Structure 1
Amino acid sequence: MTSISRRAFGAVVAAGALLLSVPSHAQQVLRVSAIPDEAPTELQRKFKPLGEYLEKKTGMKVEFTPVTDYAASVEGLINKKLDMVWFGGFTFVQAKDRSHGQVVPLVQRMEDEKFRSVFITTSPAIKSLADLKGKTLSFGSESSTSGHLMPRSFLLAAKIDPDSDLKRIAFSGAHDATVAAVAGGKVDAGALNISVWEKLVAEKKVDTNKVHVFYTTPPYYDYNWTVRADMPADLKKKITDAFLALDANTPEGKEILALQRATKFIPTRAENYTAIEAAAKNAGLLKK
């Protein structure tokens, strides 16, 4: 083989090796995000030890990428800008709809099997959902399961149409912002995730002598960690196994589970969210 041929052959081999290395390199980073249902700094704080744990369990670098709104979390996953997202039940349904079924929920907290929303107020005159007629109410984000869809669904079930029976509805964008709006007198009442409410109460970030719960919804399925269907099966298994192995009896597991407000993680499946999909269609928030 001439020196020119050897150089050409070497270049082809090098180019082939480079091409082969691209997918491998691309898979070395797991890009993770979450719906922005709390302040960005709080989401980053909650994820940090979980990200470090997932790095050890998957052998990949884990990067948390905050998104501006709920829709961005859906688009980021289905457009392959993100690999895994913490969705609420409704955002999972939206991602499933937008991707034509090409997303897979892997795990959820045990608490997400029977999740609830709470309605809060500072007014002694508001004691039931019926008392909201003619009043002002704040939901969270428009795409929030526990901060909008399910509270709206239970209002409709109680024969109260938020758009016509209430004086005004607002969207705070996040659960903690809803509490602030109610406490600050910007609205008469608000609806939010029970988990965030309990956290704020425990941390004494809300004055329960002033703001109180007047209605708690029946339970429903909510949050989950979702990936695209085209994620390699072995990586899906590594991630699932890592979540299922979290144990509150170990220092690491105790810290992570506490930050995630979870007793433990359990497997989940798309069929668990059919009731949320039906509620979204009934409320006119998803095309039938």
Structure 2
Amino acid sequence: MRHFSPLRMFKTILGATAAAGLMFAAITAAAQNTPGVLRVSAIPDEAPTELQRKFKPLGDYLAKATGLKVEFTPVTDYAASVEGLINKKIDMVWFGGFTFVQANVRSKGQVTPLVQRAEDEKFRSVFITTNKDISKLEDLKGKTLSFGSESSTSGHLMPRSFLLGAKVDPDTDLKRIAFSGAHDATVAAVAGGKVDAGALNISVWEKLVAEKKVDPAVVRVFYTTPGYFDYNWSVRSDMNPALKKKIADAFLALDKSTPEGKEILDLQRATRFIPTKVGNYADIEKAATSAGLLKEGK
């Protein structure tokens, strides 16, 4: 039988450990250089089937632009989209202005807004009703009103802000407020007589009217808000800079003059995408703080 001295055994173990370390480093390097998966999600401001339908052509386009497999992961609520990005379970999210602010605050600035639609520079909300006695925001006193999701910019935060500006406190001046969870659900609640009025994003309203899913002669807009910054596509700040640039460039290159560009932009309800930055959402953050909807670390 062959015997090893303690010194020789130590050298053997040390050599094996070093070899294993080199092998692990090589595997890790190879994995980093191998195209992987871009995990994408979106705030659930519309029905899940509609979100999937809207994203499919865009996902295929981004896969070609990045060389990655693009997977869309639906989330159950707005908070899940925030947590998914900052906990690195998702790489890119379609945020509303308020959910971007929440993600940015929660992550201590570790979220980067890449692009927004040109329409998001001056986005608006509409207030709708079937009640003939309601023609201005002040008429909502004593009435019932549905917002969308509590974390929605265009379906809650900004409508609440404009109500407060009109000296109408939703929590004390209205008979009851409800949260439908999504813009199309708000329209259904108003049309079905469950509430006297509702607030939602103008883009979804115009889409539902165009698709004849709501009769504007029955459910009518009685107030349209001034413009404000809203939606954007955001990524984690620690994403590889080269990948960030590929994604941003792909969005900025979309053009309605091409069949692919037209299909994607129409589904996204956009004329084109433009760069955006954190500073664009300063007013959203102020509005959320003033309304008591944004707390440090939340």
**TM value normalised by structure 1:** 0.95
Change (3 A) 1:130 1:229: same
Alignment of 1:139-158 (within 5 A): 139-158=147-166
Is 2:37 the counterpart of 1:23?
A: no
1:113 to 2:121 alignment? yes
Match of 1:247 in 2: 255
Match of 1:262 in 2: 270
Please report how far the alpha carbon of residue 257 of structure 1 lies from its aligned counterpart in structure 2 after TM superposition: 0.1
**Residue identity opposite 2:29 in structure 1:** L
Q: Give the aligned residue type for 1:20.
A: A
Return closer, same or farther for 1:106/1:18 CA change in 2, 3 Å cut-off: same
Aligned residue for 2:194, secondary structure, equals coil
For residue 16 of structure 1, report the CA deviation from its aligned partner.
Answer: 3.4
How far apart are residue 207 of structure 1 and its match?
1.3
The answer to whether residue 92 in structure 2 is matched with residue 95 in structure 1 is no
Runs of 4+ aligned residues of structure 1 deviating over 6 Å after TM superposition are 5-10
Listed as ranges, the matches of 1:171-210 within 5 Å are 171-210=179-218
Judging changes above 3 Å, is the alpha-carbon distance between structure 1 residues 116 and 8 closer, same or farther for their aligned structure 2 residues?
A: closer
Amino acid across the alignment from 1:110 = A
Instruction: State the 1:74 CA deviation.
Output: 0.2
2:87 pairs, out of 79, 85, 99, with 79
Match of 1:221 in 2: 229
CA 16–199 in structure 1, closer or farther in 2 if over 3 Å, else same = same
Tell me by how many angstroms 1:21 deviates.
2.9
- Say if 2:244 is the partner of 1:233: no
Residue 39 (1) aligns with residue 47 (2): yes
CA separation of 1:109 and 1:15: change in aligned 2, threshold 3 A: same
Deviation at 1:24, TM superposition (A): 3.7
Matched, 1:271 2:271: no
Distance in 1 (CA, whole Å) between partners of 2:194 and 2:100 is: 31
In structure 1, C-alpha distance between the alignment counterparts of 2:102 and 2:216, rounded to whole Å = 35
Q: Return the offset for 1:122.
A: 0.4
Aligned counterparts of 2:287 and 2:19: Cα–Cα separation in 1: 61
In 1: Cα distance, 2:220 partner to 2:108 partner: 41
Segments of 5+ residues of structure 1 without an aligned counterpart are: none
Percent of matched pairs sharing the same residue: 77
Q: Distance in 2 between matches of 1:197 and 1:164?
A: 27
Q: Alignment partner of 1:151: what SS? A: helix
CA distance in 2, matches of 1:15, 1:231: 23
Match of 2:146 in 1: 138
1:28, CA displacement in angstroms? 1.3
CA offsets, 1:160-193, max 9 Å, x none? 0000000000000000000000000000000000
Q: Distance in 1 between matches of 2:151 and 2:217?
A: 30
- Partner of 1:33, secondary structure, is strand
Aligned equivalents of 1:279, 1:7: Cα separation in 2? 60
**Over aligned residue pairs, what C-alpha RMSD do you find?**
1.8
